[in-house]
Structure 1
């Protein structure tokens, strides 16, 4: 995982984003946050499983569907299957060791 610090690449309320193979964070302090880093590692795993580009396509399409469903950007984001998996397991630092292939499907 390659971590880059750049507050200008992120929108106002974003602390970080995974863009395989990089994790871009707003501040140096985020590089020390193990829960945050685990969340981003989960996204990197999801991206590699879907061969990166299909991940981004799926992410955007699912966000659009959730936006129509919830009519709220934040709720739509929080209910994307990739995000649901990452948020549900970010506190478990051993999660990726025992995670099943394409496990995000259980969060659809």
Structure 2
């Protein structure tokens, strides 16, 4: 499977600006991104959704609308069952009401 090509949402809300993902020694996955100017499809109040997938465990963890675009980051401690497996990481934004979504992006493998 070509994990970087997988898309779980499509829509008009702007995608994330220069996203990165890291895995710490404390088994914490941290996403970060850069700020960007606001416009009709890019608001500081947009909500970020994150997906972390372990192909080895066939397990996906979702974190829906857990951070604002203006937060510029989000971290989560891994479930024990995922420690030591390759993790494919994705994220997307929706508007504050959740009625409009944006295209999801593959952020990377940790």
| TM-score tier after normalising by the smaller chain length | under 0.3
TM-score, normalised with respect to structure 2: 0.27
TM-score, normalised with respect to structure 1: 0.27
More strand by share: 2
